[in-house]
């Protein structure tokens, strides 16, 4: 006991002797203003905002040199409530992140924690980095059912990868399913659903019949630069990735994906398009995992509703339909572009919105939940 107390005293005095500092050399980091008040042990911060990062949703940084003898408070003001997460995540090692309920949503963002280590990392939600995706791809790259192509390399040498997953790719009558994710860089939760889909498709338990009858074309991370640089991406200037479809797209990645969709649609029976997103972390869509219904009533509406009913029955997660209508005032979205160009063969084209807050059991979504959701979406095809 004496040793423990001595150790505590040493660690407290060491911590007190350290200068407060911000750790801002992380991949996918974002912090703009950041100041520390030792008297109240409070970190005041705001996300970095510029023309690509207009929303300021995403923050991700670490702090060290704060007091360990009292509560540590994080505080900021956000322009819009929907940008402030109900359940930000914290970590002591920048690897394992935990959800923490924040308590000041109406007047901005206030998070109080009892510090358990000398360093605390804080983020809008579970980060999902470009490097994590590359690790996943190197793990699965030798599968005989997978082909990985580089659609595009950016000026900073980041790759926009395309995965083709199937058995016997030469069979022409196969059903083609297109899936893309991270058109909006801050929507990290979508990437876990995407990873769940990929992991299931690559697993032993994946119904082998599915890979014989279907071909999956997947672009798991579209706006790689903004993800890498910790930018929010959504509503970026001059044009949001998901308002850049049709015409001649501004973003090279969108041009390449459109081209790849056109080529694959000639060779296979184009059946479904899924665009995986995450909603604003402070917005509530009924605390559920949601999808957009583009069609109102009719055959495609039934296809879409039946698909999600099947998903709900099997998975236990409750999805919710959100009505959407075509608008062109701020540009064409991916799901509309696919519907307009391939509506005659598509069963449906949809945007899948992943929530950040509470799951169907009333507890905050875990990474495992997101991976499970991805698995069950694919299983709904079986
Ligand atoms: Zn989005």
Cα 278 to middle of ligand 1, angstroms = 6
Cβ pair 75, 42 in contact under 8 A:
yes
Q: 77 falls in which pLDDT band (50, 70, 90)?
A: low
- The mean pLDDT of 342-355, rounded to a whole number, is 92
With contact defined as beta carbons under 8 Å apart, do 118 and 15 qualify? yes
Q: Is the pLDDT of residue 13 over 50?
A: no
Whole-model pTM: value is 0.92
CATH architecture of 130-379: 3-Layer(aba) Sandwich (3.40)
Angle at CA of residue 5, ends 4 and 10, nearest 5°: 95
Residue extent(s) of CATH 3.40.630.10 domains in the chain: 130-379
Average pLDDT of 316-325? 79
> Does residue 6 register a pLDDT over 60?
no
d(CA 322, CA 155): 37
Q: What is the mean pLDDT of residues 24-28?
A: 93
pLDDT at 174: 94
Give CA separation, 377 vs 51, 110, 190, 317, 360, in Å: 35, 35, 13, 10, 16
215: pLDDT strictly greater than 50? yes
Lay out the sheet containing 60-64: strands in order across: 21-23, 60-64, 119-123, 89-91, 98-99
pLDDT of residue 9: 41
DSSP SS3 for 164: strand
- Has residue 322 got a pLDDT over 90? no
Evaluate whether 136 touches 195 at the Cβ level (below 8 Å). Answer: yes
Task: Report whether pLDDT(323) > 80.
Answer: no
Q: What are the pLDDT digits (tens) for 148-194?
A: 999 999 999 999 999 999 998 777 789 999 999 999 999 999 999 99
Q: How far apart are CA 143 and CA 231, in angstroms?
A: 33
Asked if pLDDT for residue 236 goes beyond 90, the answer is: yes
Burial class (CB in 10 A: 0-12, 13-18, 19+), 82: middle
Largest CA distance in the chain: 76
Residue with more model confidence, 321 or 372: 372
Is the CATH code 2.60.40.3120 the one for domain 13-123? yes
Q: If you search the block for the tokens 């501004």, which residue do you land on?
A: 250
Q: Which of 304 and 104 is assigned the larger pLDDT?
A: 304
For residues 203-208, average pLDDT: 88
- Average the pLDDT over each of 136-145, 286-295, 334-343 and give the range with the smallest value: 286-295
Which residue intervals of the chain bear CATH 2.60.40.3120? 13-123
SS3 state at 32: coil
Mean pLDDT (the chain) is 89
Give the 3-state DSSP-derived string for 41-92, with helices as H, strands as E and coil as C. Answer: CEEEECCCCCCCCCCCCCCEEEEECCCCCCCEEEEECCCCHHHCCCCCEEEC
pLDDT for res 115: 95
How far are the Cα atoms of 245, 333, 336 from residue 294, in angstroms, in the given order?
16, 11, 8
Q: Is the pLDDT of residue 106 over 90?
A: no
pLDDT over 70 for what percent of the chain?
90
- CA of 186 from ligand 1 middle (Å) equals 8
| Whether pLDDT at 358 is above 90 | no
* Ligand 1 geometric centre to CA of 315 (Å): 23
The Å distance, Cα 233 to ligand 1 centre, comes to 9
Q: Ligand 1 centroid vs 56 CA: distance in angstroms?
A: 14
At residue 105, the pLDDT reads: 58
Distance (angstroms) between ligand 1 centre and the Cα of 136 equals 22
3-state secondary structure 192-232: HHHHHHHHHHCCCCCCHHHHHHEEEEEECCCCHHHHHCCCC
Q: What is the mean pLDDT of residues 204-227?
A: 94
For the ranges 53-67, 70-84, 151-165, 326-340, the lowest mean pLDDT is seen at 70-84
- According to the model, what pLDDT value does residue 11 have? 42
Decide if pLDDT at 292 tops 80.
no
Helices 188-201 + 130-140 axis angle, to 10:
0
The DSSP code sequence of 90-156 is EESSSSS-EE---S-TTTSEEEEE---SSEEEEESS----HHHHHHHHHHHTT-TTEEEEEEEE-TT
Q: Which residues pair with 180 in a beta bridge?
A: 219, 275
Report the alpha-carbon distance of residue 312 to residue 380 in Å, rounded: 9
User: What separation in Å is there between the alpha carbon of 298 and the centre of ligand 1?
Assistant: 26
**Distance in Å, CA 279 to ligand 1 centroid:** 6
């Amino acid at each position: 006991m004496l040793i423990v107390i001595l150790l505590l005293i040493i660690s407290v005095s060491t911590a007190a002797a350290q200068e407060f500092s911000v750790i801002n050399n992380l991949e996918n980091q974002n912090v703009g203003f950041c100041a520390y008040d030792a008297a109240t042990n409070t970190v005041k911060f705001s996300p970095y905002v510029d023309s690509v990062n207009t929303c300021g949703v995403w923050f991700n940084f670490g702090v060290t040199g704060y007091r360990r003898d009292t509560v540590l408070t994080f505080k900021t003001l956000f322009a819009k409530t929907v940008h402030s997460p109900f359940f930000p995540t914290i970590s002591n090692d920048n690897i394992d992140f935990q959800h923490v309920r924040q308590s000041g949503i109406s007047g901005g963002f206030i998070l109080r924690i009892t510090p358990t280590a000398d360093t605390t990392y804080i983020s809008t939600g579970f980060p999902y980095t470009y490097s994590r995706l590359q690790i996943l791809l190197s793990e699965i790259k030798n599968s005989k059912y997978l082909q990985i192509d580089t659609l595009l390399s950016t000026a900073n040498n980041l790759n926009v990868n395309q995965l083709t997953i199937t058995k016997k790719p030469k069979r022409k009558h196969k059903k083609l399913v297109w899936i893309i994710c991270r058109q909006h860089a801050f929507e990290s939760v979508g990437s876990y659903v995407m990873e769940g889909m990929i992991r299931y498709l690559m697993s032993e338990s994946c119904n082998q019949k599915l890979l014989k009858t279907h071909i999956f074309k997947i672009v798991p991370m579209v706006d790689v630069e903004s993800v890498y640089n910790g930018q929010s991406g959504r509503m970026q200037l001059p044009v949001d990735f998901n308002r850049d479809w049709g015409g001649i797209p501004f973003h090279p990645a969108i041009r390449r994906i459109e081209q790849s969709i056109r080529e694959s649609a000639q060779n296979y029976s184009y059946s479904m398009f899924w665009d995986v997103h995450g909603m604003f972390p402070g917005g509530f869509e009924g605390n559920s995992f949601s999808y957009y219904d583009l069609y109102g009533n009719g055959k495609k509406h039934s296809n879409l509703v039946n698909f999600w009913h099947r998903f709900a029955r099997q998975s236990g997660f409750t999805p919710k339909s959100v009505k959407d209508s075509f608008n062109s005032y701020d540009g064409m979205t991916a799901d509309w572009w696919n519907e307009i160009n391939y509506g005659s063969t598509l069963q449906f084209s949809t945007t899948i919105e992943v929530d950040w807050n509470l799951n169907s059991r009333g507890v905050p979504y875990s990474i495992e939940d997101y991976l499970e959701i991805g698995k069950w979406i694919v299983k709904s095809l079986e």
